[in-house]
Amino acid sequence: MIYALISDVHGNLEALTAVMDDIKKHGAIDGVVFLGDAVGYGPNPNEVLQIISATCDVKLMGNHDYSALGLLDPTDFNVYAQSGINFSVSVLTPQSQGILSSFRLIDRVGELLLVHATPDAPESWNYCLSTAEANRQFAAFDEPICFIAHSHQPLIFRQDSLGECDMLYDEELSLSDECRYIINTGSVGQPRDGNPRACYVIYDTISRRLHYRRLPYDIEAAQHKMRAVDLPAFLVERLAAGR
């Protein structure tokens, strides 16, 4: 099976459209997995949710989605994230709220564990950004591979048979049967690794080949729409910097 794994769209319709077009061109995708955060930051949460609902086989909840449903206090976020959530809540339709409500916190597909934040405590919305934290997370699940999101940074943690863990930034990688992996898919609509291009992952469960895809999209169009609905200038400007 070949899966496309996407996450952290954050209301960015232009970025999601570019990614979905690329997935269609690939031609051999057996399923699309969404790892959370459809809303927040961007100007098109309803349109994004419609696409995710129609095209994704697995749909997970992110912390911004959770907050938009009133399940997480937005004051836990910084002021810019609060602005994004407040905007999303103000425009979400009942249909969109229903779509969001159907998302799950954690799921499994074959040998893959899927979660937005961390497998040990999905509702705590913690980050996995170090080998020490990765080792702690490896102890919390049994599957050989866990896909995560949340930090908007594409990276791979690899644990060998002796329990030693390292961090990889490979754009393409063949996964070893002798190792376990925690793989962050990066962000479609809000990359924060210094690269503003939309990011997602293609993974082949047979060949165990992983490939990060980076795609240009119409950032200026997204920024124009953000300004039109008075989203903070900081959120507008960061799209072009990938920060």
Distance in angstroms (rounded) separating the CA atoms of residues 197 and 162: 36
Q: For position 103, what pLDDT does the model report?
A: 98
Pairing mode, if any, of strands 165-168 and 155-159?
Answer: antiparallel
Distance in angstroms (rounded) separating the CA atoms of residues 32 and 20: 10
User: Does position 76 have pLDDT exceeding 90, yes or no?
Assistant: no
Give φ, ψ of 104 to 5 degrees: -105, 160
The token duo for 155 is 């990276």
**Mean pLDDT calculated for residue range 46-75:** 96
pLDDT in tens, 104-122: 999 999 999 999 999 999 9
DSSP for 193-208, please give it: SS--SEEEEEEETTTT
pLDDT in tens, 136-162: 999 999 999 999 999 999 999 999 999
Amino acid at 99: I
Distance of CA 33 to the CA centre of its chain: 10
**Mean pLDDT calculated for residue range 48-77:** 96
**Mean pLDDT calculated for residue range 157-171:** 95
| Neighbouring residues of 8: CB distance < 8 A, sequence distance ≥ 6 | 35, 36, 37, 62, 149, 150, 152, 186, 187, 188, 189, 190
**Mean pLDDT calculated for residue range 89-97:** 97
**Mean pLDDT calculated for residue range 174-188:** 97
User: Does position 27 have pLDDT exceeding 90, yes or no?
Assistant: no
Task: Give the domain CATH number at 153.
Answer: 3.60.21.10
Cβ neighbours of 132 (radius 10 Å): 10
Q: For position 168, what pLDDT does the model report?
A: 96
**pTM, to two decimals:** 0.96
**Cβ–Cβ under 8 Å, residues 40 and 63:** no
Distance in angstroms (rounded) separating the CA atoms of residues 100 and 121: 20
User: Does position 43 have pLDDT exceeding 90, yes or no?
Assistant: yes
pLDDT in tens, 187-235: 999 999 999 999 999 999 999 999 999 999 999 999 999 999 999 999 9
Residue 166 structural domain: 2-241
Domain count, the chain: 1
